[in-house]
């Protein structure tokens, strides 16, 4: 990740299968969208797939080194390719808008 400082923070209210806990925030350092419009945001040591309909975040592993290099080479708002797929590196504003879209719960791993 290029950004050392967080771009925004996700409001997390607990987990899907567990009891609701006190709200906390997770710093977000970047993110991308795939061709289907699915969003993935980067936290410090993992990534979150965002499900807006159910307000759920699913934990994913961070990008591998090759994908991370392609992501880092792209400017915010630009496409980058990895393998045979094209992804959009999200702008700081888009990430902020996503984080402000609501309070999320963390679901099971992806």
Domain tally for the chain? 1
47 and 40 Cβ atoms separated by less than 8 Å: yes
Task: State both tokens at 85.
Answer: 């797929």
The verdict on residue 78 lying in a domain is: yes
Domain encompassing residue 64 = 8-107
Give the pLDDT band of residue 110 (cuts 50, 70, 90): low
The verdict on residue 61 lying in a domain is: yes
The answer, yes or no, to whether residue 19 has pLDDT greater than 70, is no
End-to-end CA distance of the chain: 21
The verdict on residue 41 lying in a domain is: yes
Can you tell me the distance from the alpha carbon of 107 to that of 55, in angstroms, rounded to the nearest whole number?
Answer: 10
The verdict on residue 71 lying in a domain is: yes
The verdict on residue 1 lying in a domain is: no
User: What's residue 23's pLDDT?
Assistant: 78
The residue to which tokens 């977000």 are assigned:
28
pLDDT in tens, 71-109: 999 999 999 999 999 999 999 999 999 999 888 999 876
**pTM for the predicted model, two decimal places:** 0.87
pLDDT in tens, 48-72: 999 999 999 999 999 999 999 999 9
The verdict on residue 72 lying in a domain is: yes
87 and 32 Cβ atoms separated by less than 8 Å: yes
User: What's residue 37's pLDDT?
Assistant: 93
């Amino acid at each position: 990740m290029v950004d050392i400082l967080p771009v925004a923070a996700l409001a997390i209210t607990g987990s899907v299968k567990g009891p609701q806990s006190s709200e906390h925030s997770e710093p977000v350092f970047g993110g991308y969208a795939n061709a289907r419009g699915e969003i993935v945001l980067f936290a410090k040591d993992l990534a979150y797939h965002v499900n807006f309909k159910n307000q759920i975040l699913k934990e994913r592993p961070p990008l591998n080194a090759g994908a991370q290099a392609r992501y880092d080479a792209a400017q915010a708002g630009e496409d980058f390719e990895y393998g045979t797929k094209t992804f959009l590196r999200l702008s700081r504003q888009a990430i902020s808008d996503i984080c402000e879209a609501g309070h999320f719960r963390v679901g099971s791993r992806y």
